[in-house]
Amino acid sequence: MKGKFNFMSDKKTTYREHTDMENTLKLRQVLATLPPFCKDYFRAIDTTTTAKTRISYAYDIRIFFLVSSG
């Protein structure tokens, strides 16, 4: 998903907020390609990890499932 996405149009977002939003959108796209139970895992680690960490984990898990299935 390209382009700027502002959840709160009346407030300017910081660079970190903006990148967190972008990473969250990327995570949602990757989660759509993973088994459903992965969503539970990412929901569980949401409060203890950054958005960048979660997207990195998602990419690694996706590779695991691609290698395992193919």
Q: What is the DSSP string of 35-50?
A: -THHHHHHHHTTTTS-
Query: Is residue 4 very low, low, confident or very high in pLDDT (cuts 50, 70, 90)?
Result: low
Higher pLDDT, 65 or 55: 55
Question: What gap in Å lies between CA 15 and CA 32, rounded to an integer?
Answer: 26
Return the pLDDT at 28.
97
User: What tokens appear for 26 in the block?
Assistant: 């990327």
The whole-model pTM stands at 0.76
Please write the tens of the pLDDT for every residue from 5-62: 555 556 788 999 999 999 999 999 999 999 999 999 999 999 999 999 999 999 999 9
